[in-house]
Amino acid sequence: MVVSAMLIFVGCAMPYRTINPVSAFTGQTVNENKTGVVITCSDIDIVSAQNKWLAKKLWRNEMIFVPVKVQNNSDSSFTLSVRTLEFINDYTPVEMLESSRYQKVLGQKYWGNLLLLPVVMATSYYTETSESPEGIQLSRNGFRLNFWSGAIALLGIVNTTRTILVNQKTKKHILQNDLYLKTVQPGSKVCGFICIKADKLNSPMVRIRNIKQK
Amino acid sequence: MKWVISLFLLTMPLVLFSQNNFYILRAEVSDEQTDMPLPEAAVAVKEIGKHFISDQSGLIRMALVPGDYTLITTHDDYVLGIKKIVVTSDSTFTIKLKPFDKSVVIEEVTVVENMPLKSNRIETGLELLSSVSISSIPAIAGEKDIVKSLALKPGMQIASEGVSRLIVRGGNPDQNLFLLNGLPIFQTNHFFSFLSVVNPMLIDQVEVYKSGFPAHYGGRVSSVIDMEVKTPGMDRVHGEGDIGLLSAKAMVSVPLIKNKLAVMASARRTYLDLLGRAIIDQLEDLNFSYTDFSFSANWNLSDKNKITFFNYYSRDDFTLNYDEEYTGVPLSDNGKSWDNLLSGIQWRYAHGRFSNELKAGYSGNNTNRGVAYGTDTLAMYEKLFYSRLQNFILTDRINFDFSNRIKLDAGLQIEEVQLAPASVNYTGIDSSWTQQRISEGRFESGAVWASVNYEGIKFRAQAGLRGSLYLYNGLARFIAEPRVNLQYFLSKNSSIKTSYSRISQPLHLLSNTGLGLPVDLWIGLSEKRKPMVSNQWAAGYYMNFPVKGRRFEISFEGFYKTTENLLCYRDGFSSHIFTTANYSGEPNYLDEVTADGHGKSYGIEFLFEKLEGDFTGWVSYTLSKSLHSFKDFENGKWFNSPYDRPHNLSVVGSYILGKGWDVNFSFSLLSGQPFTVPVAVYPTYSFNILTSEPLPPFSNTIYINSERNGFRLKTFHKLDIGVRKQLKGKRNYSHWLELSVYNVYNRANSTYGYIDPYREGRLNVVSVSIFPIIPSVSYGFRF
């Protein structure tokens, strides 16, 4: 029971707190070029601040989701990518990460709940002994759901389901708001996150890259 | 073609009209002469208080908002470079450094030491001292001294004025582990303890651990002084030298195979004896000298494999020749010598997240003291006392980084210590014999350790365990030594730290108190004599901050330390009992003349340091108490330890005046040394039974002593000042002249004290001061 209690506790999925990138701009740096493209980034790591479990995972993998807002007042569209953006953190250019680089990191592990299976089996096991009128001892054994095994199984299923759902929600929210490789149409404004390779946020800055014309 | 046009149209507005709130700069750091890129050069941007380190190609990329900036570039063996830039666009520029030394000051350039901040390190009780700091602190007769420089840091002091015996947090001098390139030094002093044995020119950086010892250190209970020797230059010939009043020293490093193999040699010798004999006739019979040599070789076998060989030898000689006129015998020599020999080889393998260091070494110490009578051609007899210690060490240490956050440090160490603490050898015309005055043999020790470092954003931890096993006289003693360091960052630049460490020491040093020829006897363990074990708790607050681009550091730290199994001579005994022959031929039983006890010390330390700028320096203050308790003294009550100095204040500064001039000073204020004095006396007047004449008063007096170490010699304070002028140099050659004044206001500090019962017919405590104001001049050069 102690083992199952520990497993249930450890396997319990932590909720993901959705961050609205629009409201995430508490401290910010603004950069505007003459074409009218205004790009703003927040200097607070709001995703990690609001999601402690995710913060640890991101920090271990040196990733930060920085809230970024782009207002394209020019008459051309452009795509937010390494080719067009330069991201600065701690006064040094940093790498921006595509979703394929961080997707694995976003999920909480749920396979630990599989370890509950032997616990469920152990608690479901039963042995019954009866005596026939002729005085013959009969024994019967097998697996049968009881209160404990049922409760543990249920908690395991709930935990696993909840973890999968939280993972989906996290992934969906981040991917939906990932600005990297997004195209910003003329006259439109986009708000979202850009994932950078860094372990702490210090004076982040972003700008439209100077592309040399040949 | 269509997509090319589309792309052009898409990006054209961005190209033509881009205007940003920051720009990206690409700096290429290279050697001015060879244009070779310089990796690991540190470029400090003064205005934002940030350092950037160049990569393997000597490149640095940084982003700055438009404005004026000052870049200060430092690199080992290169002149510090200053460059002013105006940021108005993305640009690439070069920073060319002159191959020189970073301590050289050109025009109004500030020395910026690329030292790690101790507030960023996890260990409590850590002090860092660079070669630049050592060279900027004024010293007696211009002799720069590592130990005396360290004594200006909080929690550390010298045993008495002018003496290079370090006391750390109230511990005894033998409780400090002096490591030179990882090898222990047992005799740490030259010149009757007035100078430390290591040539400061050799040292690159010193790290001192007063608490929070990492698990790979062991063997001494008070501190670890880890001295890292300079690495020989792989690119060209480097050298430096210094000629002072007491000695001359020089060092040269030569690359044998460029970027592969380099060797370095250093030497120091006093010429006090030669000068003295040349100037004063009476000194003809006195021969005194001290000298030390070192040789090291670094061989980069490949990117992953490096081999280092290191050798160090030091020796002191003191001989007084008497002729027949004084002694009535044909010729006599009375002398003493002591030496150290260190030799070690290390193979380091590093690949990715794994590194391994395999080290084999030897450290030996000999002390000889003898007297000889005879003629030039015929020795009548010679009596020699000698003390030997030989330490063989084999260490393997591995480091493995599980991730950027979790790192493992583990290893093992096997040691054999061979001891002959006190032996007397007699050689006469018709007989010779040797007596082992202390029957000590050898002992083996082994240690294994493992330590895990965790580095979080706000929290860091270092947890380790060291197991020490001592084998002696068929006995085995195992001591588990847990070590824990914790650090929590309150903000980016401030943190609190705490630590617990337990550490053991198998060797005891029996020392005579007071001044004189040092006779220190290293002794091992017995059934009664157990290893010293210390437990220490420490906690503190640490902060660093920039003011106008200059970094400051502040720390407060408190500690509480207990030490078990201390050893000292019982009252009435000294090394004399072991240095002279016993005509019964029996060895003395060490345990009968020594007493064992325990100690405790506690205190708080404060340090305020300015690390960058024209003016650098620090103020340190320590308030502490150090107590001993021996069941054989004072009925086991606590009494002041001989090294208890409650107040310890140091102020050290170095100011660059410009045009090659700089001024350095250090001021120390220290409570007086504890001292035991008679508080009552029973004079007995005796008569000579043959002549019936009265003997002098106090000739057979009974003294009643005060509480042990209950009185103090007068407070110690002094000011030293030095001025250095950089002389006009040539390419790759710089030289300077330094004038220093020791004890500027001629304070008569007590070097030691004694009881004089004969002066003016009453008991007197006599305080002896031997260091008045001492001006000196020295000339140094570097190429």
Residues of A in contact with B13 (CB under 8 A): 35, 74-76
Shortest distance between the Cα of B75 and any Cα of chain A, in A, equals 20
Residue-wise pLDDT tens digits, B219-250: 999 999 999 888 888 878 889 999 988 889 99
pLDDT of B582 reads: 62
Q: Higher confidence at residue B384 or residue A35? A: B384
- Contact assignment for A37 to B61 by CB distance below 8 Å: no
Residue-wise pLDDT tens digits, B123-171: 999 988 888 778 778 776 678 888 888 888 999 988 777 677 889 999 9
Mean of the per-residue pLDDT values of chain B: 82
Identify which of A53, A96, A81, A64 has the alpha carbon closest to the alpha carbon of residue A202.
A64
How many Cβ pairs within 8 Å bridge chains A and B? 82
- CB contact burial B84-95 (16+ within 10 A = b; e otherwise): ebebeebeeeeb
Residue B371 pLDDT more than 50?
yes
φ, ψ at B133 (rounded to 5°): -65, -45
* Whole-number Å distance between alpha carbons of B234 and B129: 24
pLDDT of B492 reads: 79
Give residue limits of the domains in chain A.
2-126+141-208
- Contact assignment for A84 to B405 by CB distance below 8 Å: no
- Contact assignment for B10 to A74 by CB distance below 8 Å: no
Structure tokens at B589: 């039983």
- Banded pLDDT at B627 (limits 50, 70, 90): very high
Residue-wise pLDDT tens digits, A98-118: 888 888 888 888 777 778 888
Structure tokens at B98: 């002159």
Give the domains, in start order, of chain B with CATH numbers: 2-97 (2.60.40.10), 118-237+329-626 (2.40.170)
Residue-wise pLDDT tens digits, B179-189: 999 999 988 88
Residue B515 pLDDT more than 70?
no
pLDDT of A137 reads: 63
- Contact assignment for A92 to B8 by CB distance below 8 Å: no
**B24-50 average pLDDT score:** 82
Shortest distance between the Cα of A49 and any Cα of chain B, in A, equals 12
pLDDT of B701 reads: 64
List residues bridging with B99 in a β-sheet: B78
- Quick one: angle between helices A147-177 and A99-106, nearest 10? 160
Q: Determine the residue of chain B that is closest to A37 in CA distance.
A: B14
Structure tokens at A157: 């299923």
- CB contact burial B407-423 (16+ within 10 A = b; e otherwise): bbbbbbbbbebebbbbb
List residues bridging with B621 in a β-sheet: B606, B649
- Chain A residue set in contact with B, beta carbons under 8 Å: 29-35, 37, 59-60, 62, 74-78, 84, 86, 88, 90-93, 199-200, 202, 205, 207-213
* Whole-number Å distance between alpha carbons of A15 and A169: 9
Residues of B in contact with A91 (CB under 8 A): 45, 48, 50, 52, 62-64
Q: Which of residues 46-85 of B touch A (CB under 8 A)?
A: 48, 50, 52, 61-64
pLDDT of B14 reads: 37
pLDDT of B380 reads: 65
- Contact assignment for B21 to A76 by CB distance below 8 Å: no
Residue B63 pLDDT more than 90?
no
Residue-wise pLDDT tens digits, B326-370: 555 555 667 778 899 999 999 999 988 899 999 999 999 988 887
ipTM of the complex: 0.71
Residue B108 pLDDT more than 60?
no
Residue corresponding to tokens 């937010």: A80
- Contact assignment for A213 to B12 by CB distance below 8 Å: yes
User: Maximum CA pair distance of chain A?
Assistant: 102
Q: Is B458 on the interface with A (CB under 8 A)?
A: no
- Banded pLDDT at B12 (limits 50, 70, 90): very low
Question: B212 with B485: CB under 8 angstroms?
Answer: yes
Mean of the per-residue pLDDT values of chain A: 79
Of B45, B90, B404, nearest to A62 by CB-CB distance is: B404
Q: Which of residues 589-648 of B touch A (CB under 8 A)?
A: none
pLDDT of B105 reads: 40
